Chain A
């Protein structure tokens, strides 16, 4: 069948194949909680929730890294900040005090999520404004440095648990839904993740997205057609940080716990690994990568404590042989299949 992949018919096939596989993916994600429960594996629902949350973070990072060519090694900072916004607002609400003397706490998801997005965006704006004056390896290092500064800030923040972190006794409330229920929370995350992916899809194809992709390919060319790269890169970096903050806020709710670990540089690394596994600069790649990494981690840790050794080998194989991660692999397989 794959012999036919290069015949002219394949021009129309990707769009059809793509919308079919998108539909299949949507059906699978909606059916997932019911199927795994029917199979007697309800513990898979929280696992899938984690996949979705990491997918939001990785997809957001991918906007900067994959589409914009800004290899940020500090996105865990925004992820962690999102988490701490939820944690601190919850603590402030339960203590009935004011954060910084004027901000009341809350446990309403409709408030905490926008707050997390906003605060993460502000941090991304400051960190991005400074970091984007550099590029290449310096940019990687300076984003890492900023993230580590924030990591140590939260470690030393004894009022909010220091390195032990902050427990959130109950998940944030959304209307009168039973958010403690894993399936309900899964669907909340699925809804938010769908929105994020929809938004990213629009952004990538928009005028802004075209400029961003142009800057990744050749900054000199972009300046020569009258584009100031810096402001577009900064805007992408901020949007990217906001997405990571949103994911962090969901993660804090999911775990009912936030700690400086969320800001640790290894978390930035994990997000990057997800992108690389799934496909750099692709829309669904981060979702695939997140799924693969979370599943691998779960399966491999049950076999051996040296699971990262196996993970490393798999990462190596994917980078060397798939040409564009899982996404690239699937597209080529999908093409083969969609031919009649």
Chain B
């Protein structure tokens, strides 16, 4: 592992700490996400995975520690500014615009990415450049045929895929994925794995996921979070063989 030490990681977390009253949700977390890798974050329920993602994204402010993106501290920036710096996330509980169509949802993300939206006169829905690029993103996510459907009328799986398409439309350097497989059927789940695999190397990802098959198939490295603390980081094999992880999470005798 030490041979990578000279390359600056894309995301560096040092001494991150977050308490809710007496509960330590994030306990002195150090974590590096290297450029181009899929870094999975696993751990039992309540380990603080989503809490960590939410802090990285600035929706929750950490108590202590630093968060660096490409060496620059982003820990004191509001969410929108972190997005401008190249962060994007998907939500475990879908956060979409229910009155809008899929196409609107993606086009709006592209629009936001282009700069300010203080343009009051021309019809945004008739902007061909935005629309056609939004269609491309939907096609990548396998959603073309449903582009004009209102989000409220989509299935849960389609909404999950849309979450993903929107995050990609933000052209992130680092994509935070919060359980993208959760609630998906087997076929949808496989489709999502294939999409993540296709993106591997192009976009750096921090992936929170419970589906261990998906994690072991996708992740370059895995970190294990237990009670807000990172107890191990390593390749899939190293994690499988780690005795602490086996007792704490994978279940002894199960692996």
One of B78, B89, B120, B122 near A228 (C-beta < 8 A)? B78
Output the residue of A217, A224, A225 with the most chain B CB within 10 A. Answer: A224
Bitwise interface map of B from 68 to 79 toward A, beta carbon under 8 Å scored 1, else 0: 000000000011
One of B79, B81, B119, B127 near A224 (C-beta < 8 A)? B79
- The answer to the question of A4 belonging to the interface, with a C-beta cut-off of 8 Å to chain B, is no
Shortest distance from the beta carbon of B107 to any chain A beta carbon, whole Å: 8
- The answer to the question of A213 belonging to the interface, with a C-beta cut-off of 8 Å to chain B, is yes
A205-B124 in contact given A211-B112, A227-B117 (Cβ < 8 Å): yes
Output the residue of A207, A213, A235 with the most chain B CB within 10 A. Answer: A207
- The answer to the question of B125 belonging to the interface, with a C-beta cut-off of 8 Å to chain A, is yes
CA distance A208 to B95 in the complex (A): 20
- The answer to the question of B123 belonging to the interface, with a C-beta cut-off of 8 Å to chain A, is yes
- The answer to the question of A218 belonging to the interface, with a C-beta cut-off of 8 Å to chain B, is yes
- The answer to the question of B239 belonging to the interface, with a C-beta cut-off of 8 Å to chain A, is no
- Which residues on A sit within 8 Å (CB–CB) of B117? 207-208, 210-211, 227, 232
- Which residues on A sit within 8 Å (CB–CB) of B124? 205-207, 209-210
Asked if A224 contacts B89 (CB within 8 A), the reply is yes
- Which residues on A sit within 8 Å (CB–CB) of B166? 221, 225
Bitwise interface map of A from 232 to 271 toward B, beta carbon under 8 Å scored 1, else 0: 1001000000000000000000000000000000000000
Asked if A227 contacts B112 (CB within 8 A), the reply is yes
One of B88, B99, B118 near A217 (C-beta < 8 A)? B99
- The answer to the question of A220 belonging to the interface, with a C-beta cut-off of 8 Å to chain B, is yes
- The answer to the question of B96 belonging to the interface, with a C-beta cut-off of 8 Å to chain A, is yes
Shortest distance from the beta carbon of A271 to any chain B beta carbon, whole Å: 23
A217-B125 in contact given A210-B111, A226-B112 (Cβ < 8 Å): no
Bitwise interface map of A from 12 to 41 toward B, beta carbon under 8 Å scored 1, else 0: 000000000000000000000000000000
- Which residues on B sit within 8 Å (CB–CB) of A224? 57, 79, 83, 88-89, 91, 95
- Which residues on A sit within 8 Å (CB–CB) of B127? 207
- The answer to the question of A203 belonging to the interface, with a C-beta cut-off of 8 Å to chain B, is yes
- Which residues on B sit within 8 Å (CB–CB) of A158? none
- The answer to the question of B133 belonging to the interface, with a C-beta cut-off of 8 Å to chain A, is no
Within residues 187 to 217 of chain A, which ones have a CB less than 8 A from any CB in chain B? 202-203, 205-211, 213-214, 217
CA distance A209 to B57 in the complex (A): 26
Asked if A207 contacts B99 (CB within 8 A), the reply is no
Shortest distance from the beta carbon of A64 to any chain B beta carbon, whole Å: 15
A225-B112 in contact given A213-B100, A220-B59 (Cβ < 8 Å): yes
Asked if A226 contacts B108 (CB within 8 A), the reply is no
Asked if A220 contacts B95 (CB within 8 A), the reply is yes
- The answer to the question of A223 belonging to the interface, with a C-beta cut-off of 8 Å to chain B, is yes
Asked if B112 contacts A213 (CB within 8 A), the reply is no
Asked if B123 contacts A205 (CB within 8 A), the reply is yes
Shortest distance from the beta carbon of B83 to any chain A beta carbon, whole Å: 4
Closest chain B residue, CB of each to CB of A210:
B124
- The answer to the question of B20 belonging to the interface, with a C-beta cut-off of 8 Å to chain A, is no
CA distance A228 to B83 in the complex (A): 11
Asked if B109 contacts A225 (CB within 8 A), the reply is yes
- The answer to the question of B19 belonging to the interface, with a C-beta cut-off of 8 Å to chain A, is no
Q: Main secondary structure on chain A at its contact with chain B?
A: helix
Asked if A208 contacts B120 (CB within 8 A), the reply is yes
Closest chain A residue, CB of each to CB of B111:
A207
Asked if A202 contacts B112 (CB within 8 A), the reply is no
- Which residues on B sit within 8 Å (CB–CB) of A217? 97-100
- The answer to the question of B84 belonging to the interface, with a C-beta cut-off of 8 Å to chain A, is yes
- Which residues on B sit within 8 Å (CB–CB) of A206? 119-124
- Which residues on B sit within 8 Å (CB–CB) of A226? 80-81, 83-84, 112-113, 170
- Which residues on B sit within 8 Å (CB–CB) of A228? 78, 80
Shortest distance from the beta carbon of A52 to any chain B beta carbon, whole Å: 23
Closest chain A residue, CB of each to CB of B83:
A226
One of B81, B96, B113, B125 near A218 (C-beta < 8 A)? B96
Shortest distance from the beta carbon of B150 to any chain A beta carbon, whole Å: 11
- Which residues on B sit within 8 Å (CB–CB) of A218? 95-98
One of B78, B81, B104, B120 near A203 (C-beta < 8 A)? B120
- Which residues on A sit within 8 Å (CB–CB) of B57? 224
Closest chain B residue, CB of each to CB of A211:
B117
Within residues 118 to 172 of chain B, which ones have a CB less than 8 A from any CB in chain A? 118-125, 127, 166, 169-170
CA distance A223 to B121 in the complex (A): 23
CA distance A40 to B108 in the complex (A): 53
- Which residues on A sit within 8 Å (CB–CB) of B108? 210-211, 214, 225
Shortest distance from the beta carbon of A283 to any chain B beta carbon, whole Å: 13
CA distance A105 to B70 in the complex (A): 60
Asked if A202 contacts B95 (CB within 8 A), the reply is no
Shortest distance from the beta carbon of B68 to any chain A beta carbon, whole Å: 19
CA distance A218 to B96 in the complex (A): 7
Shortest distance from the beta carbon of B188 to any chain A beta carbon, whole Å: 21
Closest chain A residue, CB of each to CB of B57:
A224
Beyond A210-B107, A227-B117, 8 additional pairs, beta carbon < 8 A = A202-B122, A203-B121, A206-B121, A207-B119, A213-B100, A214-B108, A218-B97, A225-B166
A-B contact pairs, 20 of them (CB 8 A): A203-B120, A206-B123, A206-B124, A207-B111, A207-B120, A208-B119, A208-B120, A211-B111, A211-B112, A214-B100, A214-B108, A217-B99, A218-B95, A218-B98, A220-B95, A221-B97, A223-B80, A224-B79, A224-B95, A228-B80
Nearest 8 pairs of A and B residues by beta carbon: A226-B83, A225-B109, A217-B97, A223-B79, A207-B117, A207-B119, A221-B95, A225-B112
